[in-house]
Amino acid sequence: MEKCRLNATNATTTGNSQILPTCIPNQQNLVISDFTSRYATYLNDTGFSAIGVGSEDDWLVVLLTNMTGTAINSNGASGLALTAISPVVLSLISLFMLV
């Protein structure tokens, strides 16, 4: 994670949210595969109602939250945006899990 300049090593819980980072230097095609195998339990948890995704180069960060008023702070991850989890978003996540 240091090589990817992320300040987290494992899934991190903050209030009502779960932060799921992954990084595989110089192996961009393996980032999604590593992510889904490590965090399948969190991705299948029905307690979350919104998702944020950020990525750059070799890393990917997903933020899952239940949006009950807990403030969410970002360190400027490019592309990080929260959206309500809908069947469309769940379908997209499922596609990544098949890779």
Sign of the torsion angle spanned by Cα atoms 67, 12, 76, 26: negative
Q: At what angle do helices 87-98 and 28-43 cross, to 10 degrees?
A: 130
The pLDDT tens digits for 7-30 are 554 455 556 788 888 777 777 677
Look at 1 and 66; give whichever has higher pLDDT. 66
The distance from CA 26 to its chain's CA centroid, rounded to whole angstroms, is 19
Please tell me the distance from the alpha carbon of residue 63 to that of residue 57, in angstroms, as a whole number: 18
| pLDDT score at 74 | 45
* Secondary structure (DSSP) of 72-88: ---S--TT--EEE--HH
Is the pLDDT reported for residue 37 higher than 60?
Answer: yes
The pLDDT tens digits for 68-84 are 544 444 444 444 455 55
In the chain, domain spans: 12-98
The pLDDT tens digits for 42-64 are 888 888 888 888 877 777 788 88
